Each structure stands twice: as structure tokens, then as C-alpha cells.
Structure 1
Amino acid sequence: LYQRYRALAPQAVPHHFSDTADIKLPLELISQMPELKENPFHQKILQVFSEDKQEKMTFNDFLNMFSILSDLTPHHVKAYYAFKIYDFNSDNFICQSDLEVMLSKLTGDELSDEDVQMVCSKVMEEGDLDGDGKLSLADFEYMITRAPDFMR
């Protein structure tokens, strides 16, 4: 992974891993990677994994982002990051508006407003265990345990 990080900006990233402590690459550069470029959630993924609020990513951030894709990563860790990615308004819940954004990104606005509302209502009906109108991390984890393909 270090070589992939370095390949994004060879002039900025040293040949040796130990020299990277202060190196931060722009998120827009990382978003051009094939794994992210076509992903409808790429901007939110980069935001979640970048600890730098200046739109940059360290190698450690980069490593953390790609480690989530590993089959060896525990399901609860994958669920946590998936939850953070789907929480578009960053309020630590997945609410109706988050679901609407998610559906829009997944379907490219191919669903009618009525269909979007129906899907959102069904998700809330099945996942909102405490009936507060939003999904907590616990609600989300429960919901995805019933959809094993989600974690693949």
C-alpha cells in the first residue's frame, strides 16, 4: 500500500516509509484511485478516514481506509465505518435525510420521490429498534447482521 500511496505523488512522498510522518496528500488526488473514483460514496469515505480537516490524508489514514476492505477486519469495525460513511450529516445517527442521500447516490436519482420515501420508511421500520425515527449505531449493526452480504 505504501507504494500505491507514493505513486499518487512520487515527488512529495519519499522512497522510504520512515520518512512519511509529515506527508499529507490532497483528498482530490486520492479520490482518483480506481477503487474510489467510481464509488458514489468516495467523498464521504475520504472525509471519514482523513483526520486532517484540511482536505488531506496521511499514509496512516490511507492505510486505515484500505484495511477496512480486508477480509480480516472484524465485522463490528466494518459496521462502524459503514455507519460513519452513511451518516451524511455527521450527527451520529442515520436519519431520513441520510437515507435519502444514500439512495440518491446509489440509484443516481432513478427512483421517484414516492419510491424513495417507501424505501426509507421500510428501512426505518425494520431497523429503528427504539422507535426514535433514526438509526443509532446499535440499530444499524442489528440491521446489517440480518443482511450478511452487506459486509462483503
Structure 2
Amino acid sequence: MGQGSSKQQEDFLTEEEIEDYQDLTYFTRQEIIVAHKKFKALAPDIVSENRNARLEMSVMLNYPELRANPFGDRICKVFSSLQDGSCTFEDFLDMMSVLSVHAPKTVKSEYAFRIFDFDNDDMIGREDLRELINRLTAPQRITEMEMMQLIQNINNESDLDDDGMLSFAEFEHIISKCPDFTE
């Protein structure tokens, strides 16, 4: 390796780290390097000074794909190793890997379920559905009657055991019928 290449490598990741990340994610070497550049771009001074930097959720939400997503805060919280929305590079890499086209549909559905389970009770209940619908329809709000009808329709289609909540198995069953889910 030439001196310029070595210096560039020092600014980013070691070969060993890249190999470990390749084993742990659905990414290639180049995709890992690009992900690190994107993470570093969120807070260059912080990440340059501290290889183990943890960026606050407010900083993470500056990432364009999260900023434009109505579930950006939930995505940060689900992937945060502290569950507070702050992310290390490894948290960010996990997030990017799971949301990539390379991740299997089963992994994507597991994380989607966790993102939509706003109260973290391992079920998607009426209040979770209400929050999900509100986020999808914002800034406009639907009427209470429309909300109740929509929640009822979702439960009629998805709630196989009629308990008023969606388990992961019920969620996964519905997702399996959605060819666009992984795109």
C-alpha cells in the first residue's frame, strides 16, 4: 500500500474492522467504507476525534433518508444500542445494512415490526396503529371515524386470532403478501 492509501485507511477503518463488518452485515467492503463516510459526514469533528463516537438522535436525523422518513426517530431508537436514538458507527452500519436491498425480507420484517411497536410491548396494538397512521398521513389528519375504520380494517385483515393486536407472526404473515415491502 502506498502512503496516501495508508493515510486514507487510517482516517476510516482498519482492514480487520472492515472484514469483521463484512461478516456481520449484508455489505461489501466498499459499501462499509461508504457507510462510514456518510456517518462521519454527519459530525466530522466528533467522529474524527473519537473513533467510538456516539451521535445524538438530533444529529442522526440530519441524515437525509432519516430526515425524510416519518419513522426516522423510531428507526434511530430501534437501531441504537442504548435505545435512546443515539448511534455509534456500528449502530448506523446495522441500520444501513438492514435497510439495504441485500438484507433478507425476514430481517426487514423483524425490524419493521419493532419500529411500528411504539410502546415496545412486542405487539402492534390500536395505539401503535393510530400512531403509525398519524405519521403516514401527516401533516393532514384523518377524522376519528376514518381512523377507527382504518384500524378496524387493518385488524380485520391482519389480526388472525382476533385479540385486537398484531403479533409478530401476524405482522410477518401480512408482510409476506406485500411484494413491495423489501424495496
TM-score by length of 1: 0.91
Name 1:81's counterpart in structure 2: 111
Letter of the 2:62 counterpart: Q
Letter of the 2:126 counterpart: Q
How much identity, in percent, do the aligned residues show?
A: 37
Task: Confirm or deny: 8 A CA contact 2:116 2:128 kept in the other structure.
Answer: yes
1:151, 1:53 → 2: CA distance? 24
Name 2:167's counterpart in structure 1: 136
Runs of 4+ residues deviating >4 angstroms: none
Name 1:147's counterpart in structure 2: 178
1:48 aligns with 2:78: yes
1:2 aligns with 2:36: yes
Name 2:10's counterpart in structure 1: none
For 1:12-34, what per-residue CA distance to the aligned partner results, in whole angstroms no more than 9, with x for missing partners?
A: 2138xxx72x3211111010111
Letter of the 2:170 counterpart: D
1:85-100 equivalence runs, <5 A: 85-100=115-130
State which drifts further: 52-61 or 40-49: 52-61
Letter of the 1:13 counterpart: V
For 1:83-140, what per-residue CA distance to the aligned partner results, in whole angstroms no more than 9, with x for missing partners?
A: 0000011111000110000000000143111111111111111111122110000000
Instruction: Specify the structure having the higher radius of gyration (Cα).
Output: 2
1:54, 1:150 → 2: CA distance? 26
Name 1:107's counterpart in structure 2: 137
- Tell me how far 1:144 sits from its aligned partner: 1.1
Letter of the 1:5 counterpart: F
In terms of fraction of residues, the more helix-rich structure is 2
How many matched pairs?
148
2:167, 2:95 → 1: CA distance? 22
More RCO (CA 8 Å, sep 6+) = 1
Name 1:12's counterpart in structure 2: 46
1:84, 1:54 → 2: CA distance? 14
Q: CA, structure 1 residues 73+54, in 2 after alignment: closer, same or farther (shift >3 Å)? A: closer
Structure 2 unaligned blocks of 5 or more: 1-34
- Tell me how far 1:56 sits from its aligned partner: 2.0
- Tell me how far 1:151 sits from its aligned partner: 2.4
Letter of the 2:181 counterpart: F
For 1:5-59, what per-residue CA distance to the aligned partner results, in whole angstroms no more than 9, with x for missing partners?
A: 11111112138xxx72x32111110101111112111111110000124542110
CA RMSD of aligned residues (A): 1.5
